Amino acid sequence: MKLRFIVAIILFNFLFILPPQVKGWYPRLISESFVTGPLSVQIIGEDRSYILAPGDVLPDIARRFRVGYNSISRANPDVDPWDPGHWREILLPFRTILPAAAQPGITINLAEYRLYLIWNEGDKTRVRIYPVGIGQPGWATPEGLFEITMKIESPSWTSPPAFRANGQTPAIIPPGPDNPLGQHWLGLSAPGVGIHGTNKPHGIGRRVSHGCIRLYPADIEDLYRRVWEGIPVKITYQPIKVALDGKDLVVQAHPDFLGRIKTPLDKVVEVMNGLGWEGKIDRNALNKVIDEARGIPVTISEPF
């Protein structure tokens, strides 16, 4: 009987819960990747659920489903990352609001550890989302408007002089499994900064790099072949994003790890006014979204 139960759970995950082709970027479903309205109010993707199996830990699940570690851990705050239990349901956070002022090209929102690739396809606009690792404290990823200036496959890594001081880090690491750049390098117009792969995929969704933007190996391979030298790259920091879902006002809050937003309510009202929305905010719901900062889009408007 126990074996039948386990088999039933596995089949249920496979048939009904797991997103199709769970690898690489998302949304995996083409129908979920279309931008159906103005970029400034667009919500993309749909969340999925997953039932934990014995031996599962959140860092491995994040890598398996290509959501960053920070995203999956914040979305499931009551789950111990290293001892999550089993046969319980967790949330895979794929649904998200596009960053404000996102345009065709690449937009990276540091606050949510995501890279958005937006492009026009005929008379339609589509988006792909890739989780990223970003600069650690003291090695911040620069913000601003840049462009890709070079593309290199199988790059070598030249270590900064500070890394060589201990005599343990070689000046140049050739292509291969020990190369921290992975198999692809997209150099930016920001000096010394690029978008690249990694030989440490558990760092995706964390502040771990020395200023560069890291992607899962499968994701950088996909992104590399879709972009070109000269494509615009906007790097921004938006812990709070606001959008409209029909008549509902939706807020997505992430931890403000740089401490820039002193009055979150004022920030929401500022963006809300820019959208021309004239409904009424549920203050309790908004305060809960801000306090929890789970990175999940939540409706905070009162019913009309």
**Long-range pairs, 118-127, Cβ under 8 A, ≥24:** 118/35, 118/39, 119/226, 124/34, 124/35, 125/34, 125/35, 125/39, 126/30, 126/33, 126/34, 126/35, 127/27, 127/33, 127/35, 127/42, 127/44, 127/98
- Pairing between strand 157-158 and 124-131? unpaired
Distances (CA, A) of 29 to 12, 26, 94, 258: 19, 8, 12, 34
Query: Is the Cβ–Cβ distance between 94 and 49 less than 8 Å?
Result: no
CA angle 165, 166, 169 (to 5 degrees): 90
Residues carrying an active site annotation: 196, 212
Query: Is the Cβ–Cβ distance between 294 and 77 less than 8 Å?
Result: yes
Compute how many other C-beta atoms are within 10 angstroms of the C-beta atom of residue 44: 24
Nearest Cα to Cα of residue 29 among 42, 13, 46: 46
Burial class (CB in 10 A: 0-12, 13-18, 19+), 181: buried
Structure-token pair, residue 35: 């931008």
